[in-house]
Amino acid sequence: MPAAGKTRITMFLDDFILQHFKALSESTGKGYQTLINEALAAVAAADERPLSASLVRRIVREEITRRANTRGR
């Protein structure tokens, strides 16, 4: 049974996006889908514009860059 307030969807992600979040999942112990959802939720909270496919791609790429830059410090 799905969690309340959640909807199952099918979407296409760039391969490197999925690889990044799966690797992050292994290092954090959180599920990769949870991590993607958290990244999108953080941006949605800061930006009230509707989430289009292009905006989702931009958000995920920015999150990958942010996390990569944080690890490099």
What single-letter amino acid sits at 8? R
Q: Is residue 54 part of a domain?
A: yes
Q: Is-above-0.75 flag for pTM? A: no
Q: Is residue 1 part of a domain?
A: no
Place of tokens 């905006």: 55
Tens of each residue's pLDDT in the chain, 73 residues: 667 888 988 999 999 999 999 999 999 999 999 999 999 988 888 877 677 888 888 888 988 888 888 876 5
Q: Is residue 65 part of a domain?
A: yes
Q: Is residue 6 part of a domain?
A: no
Q: Give the count of domains, the chain.
A: 1
Q: How far apart are CA 55 and CA 45, in angstroms?
A: 14
Q: Is residue 21 part of a domain?
A: yes
DSSP for the chain, please give it. -PPTT---------HHHHHHHHHHHHHHSS-HHHHHHHHHHHHHHH--S---HHHHHHHHHHHHHHHHHHHT-
What residue numbers bound the domain in which 42 lies?
16-71
